[in-house]
Structures are given as C-alpha cells and as structure tokens.
Structure 1
Amino acid sequence: MVDVVRLSQIDETSRGDHYHLTAEDRCYYLYEYTSHRDYSFSATNQLISNLKKKPSQADQPHYWYKGQAIGTCGRALGAALNPAWLGIATLVPVPGSKATDHPDYDDRMERICRLMRQPAPDVRALVRQAASTTASHEAGQGDRVTVEDLLDLYAIDETIAAPAPQTIGIVDDVLTAGTHYRAMHTALAARFPNVPIIGLFVARRVFPDDPLAFGGL
C-alpha cells in the first residue's frame, strides 16, 4: 500500500527558485529537498541521497538503498498521477550526467518511470546524451552545465520516436534551476511541435533558513 502524496505545481510563489522555468511551464513535484543539508536532515534528503548513489558502488552494502529509493519514487509518482493521463502519456526520463559507456551511467529515472503503473506505461528515452558531464550536485557554482551545453549534447533517438507521443511527461529527480528541464523541453518541442509537455519531479530544491549554509545540492 502506497501513501498517496499529492503533486504540487510550480507557480508564481515558487518559480523564482527555478529561474529557467517560465510562466508557461507546467511542472509538478512531490516533495521538497533542502539544499545545503545532508541525508540526515529530512526523509526527502535521505531519499534523494539514496537515489543518487553511484552505480560504481554497486558492490557495497549501502547500494541496496538505491533500489529501495527507486521503488519508492516510482510508486509515489504513479499513485499521484491521473491513471487516464498515464494511459496516454509518453514518459521521457532526463538522462543522467554520464554517457552510456561510463562506469557511473545511471538509468534510475527510466526505472522510476517504468514503476509508475502496471502494466508499465509508455516510457521512452527519447533524448540521448552524447558525452558525460559533471553531475550538478557535484559541480562547483561556476562549473555547472548550462542549457546551451546540454542542447549541444542532446539528440533525439529517432529509432523510438514513432509513433509520435500524444502528450509528454519529462521526468527527473530534483528540480533545481530547471536547466535540464529547459534543455529537454526545447529538444522535445522542436521534434514534436504542438505536443503538450509537462515536468514531473520527485522533489524541488528549496533553501534552508540559515543564510550562511553552503555546499551540497
């Protein structure tokens, strides 16, 4: 049994925290992840920490929690979404920071998408990333990937582009500035014009009350 958590929508009161989003974007999230705090701060911080465990750590005992987190996120998002929408939507996971030939290539978002409904919904990794980048939560403030950087790396996988989606849900774990969402939206809207696109996130990033806090996601 899954405790149903309702999706919240990014609106004018929260959009300023995610500066790449526009008033036209429809983005939804389940939880709030507190930046500059570690996994012990909240249940959501622990969930996201477990979700981001690196595949190269798969032989370590703590990696078990990653699978648990993927299951929790998939079931929670699935329970929060309208079954009728899930029945017609194409879920497009945001690629991880590492390309498929990297030891830390991570398909966690695709796995989360496939757990949202049984039988599995239409999940397609329509956007492929050509080269590895530094993960946003590990990058320094001046080293974070930009929308333009991502658009240079993103390409539509034409082998799975048909049939054209009726509606698209871009799915990611944490909404921070909205960089990946903006790049994904741009790439998908160019390939599938007039197809409605929304963003679905496990959590959105919020800031702690302590103005002197630093580090972390």
Structure 2
Amino acid sequence: MTEQWRKLDRRLEWDASALSTNDICYYYYDHTEGGYSQSRANQLVFNLKKPLIRRGKSDWHYKIEAIEAFAENLASLLVRVQRSPLSISLIAMPTSKNRQSDDYDDRIVQVVKQASDQTGIPWLDCFETLADTQPVHLGGTRSATAIRNNLALNDSAKRLTNYDACMLVDDVLTSGSHFIACKELLKSAYPHLQVVGAFWAKHRTSQWAYGTTDEF
C-alpha cells in the first residue's frame, strides 16, 4: 500500500483495543511482527528507538535520520491541519522514563520541534512522567489508568487554554492506552480541547482492514 497518512477506523481495525470509535488517530506506516528486517517501517521504528547507549557509535546517525524522517512525514500531515479553522498545538507524548532519568529519550520532542519549525504550528512538551516504568514493547503496562496515574501536566500546559485542539504525537500505536491516558488527563484540565493522535506507525498483530484517508 502507498505510504500515506491514514485515519484509524476503529470499526474495522481491532488491534488498538483501548480506543473507541470516537477517538481520532492518524498513522503513516504499518509496523508488523518479526523484527526490523521485515519492512521499511520496522527498520525506521527500530532506528528511532535506538537506545541512548549507542550515542557516539557508528550507527547513531540512523536514529538522527529517523527523527528527521518522522518530522518530515508529520509536517506533511500538518498541511491538513493548516486548512482547519481550529487553532492547534503539537504535543509530544510522554515517555516511560522520568525527565531526570539517565535513560530519558527526547526523540518525540525532537520530532515535534522539527515539525513545528517546518510548519509554524506551535508545540508543547507539557507531560511529566512521575516514576520510571518499563516501555510497552518491553512488557510495560497497557492499563490507561495506571499510565495516567503516573503522569502530570507541567506549567507549559496552561498555554492550552489558547487552543481549540492539540495533536498528541508518538512513534507507535499499539493498544492505544497511552493515548487514552494522555487524552483523559488533558481533557480533565481543559474540557474544551479536541485531542487527536498522530503516530508514525500502527502495530498490526493481524490482517485487519486499512484505515481511511479522511481529512483532518
């Protein structure tokens, strides 16, 4: 299938089990089982998630290139947003590590910042992870409640009072529990806010129908 942004259709796609038919999420690639060698999407996600211990090594440039590629793809989605009458902000989805952790990886912040620079759409880094947890792909929790209870909004979130909508940006959509946790926390503080998700890839555990290419 041609690489393009697609809108998740929860009526047809059941992998993202935490989402409802009312949740609006877009994704660009299909991420599959089988490791980085199975597809271009798998390779890009693998490079994007390259651990910080590889910094300064010969393969580190692959992570930088993946961040740049994600930002460029995200900017292409934001062309749709710029046609919308809504005022919108980009928000980096929080990681599983606290900002003070040696393992904290700001790759999504870098993606959002670069996409903002390319489009002029403002960005925020407004989530704080309270305690380090395991990433989902390494066995971390998929409970939206548990994830939400480990998050807080920092002072930069106050700027959201000036926006109609926000786009939560992350690398891979699996169950959707992180999106739900973040959406609920944002809506509890800013009930007026429309919250949309944008993921570089959607992980597929089975062969469900593809999403649609509906406009934002």
Calculate the TM-score normalised by the size of structure 2. Answer: 0.86
Partner-residue secondary structure (3-state), 1:30: strand
5+ unaligned residues in a row in structure 1: which ranges? 210-217
Matched, 1:186 2:188: no
Match of 2:65 in 1: 68
Return 193-202 or 115-124, whichever deviates more.
Answer: 115-124
Q: Aligned to 1:154, which of 151, 155, 161?
A: 151
Matched, 1:59 2:56: yes
Partner-residue secondary structure (3-state), 1:187: helix
CA distance in 2, matches of 1:144, 1:162: 30
CA apart distance, 1:85: 4.6
CA distance in 2, matches of 1:201, 1:195: 19
Between Structure 1 and Structure 2, how many residues are aligned?
201
CA apart distance, 1:163: 5.1
Match of 2:12 in 1: 13
CA distance in 1, matches of 2:30, 2:114: 21
CA apart distance, 1:87: 8.7
Q: Which runs of 4+ in 1 moved over 4 A?
A: none
CA apart distance, 1:160: 4.3
Whether the 8 Å contact between 1:134 and 1:145 is mirrored in structure 2 is no
CA apart distance, 1:67: 0.5
Match of 2:175 in 1: 177
Return 40-49 or 4-13, whichever deviates more.
Answer: 4-13
CA distance in 1, matches of 2:168, 2:85: 13
Whether the 8 Å contact between 1:86 and 1:121 is mirrored in structure 2 is no
Root-mean-square deviation (CA), in Å? Answer: 2.0
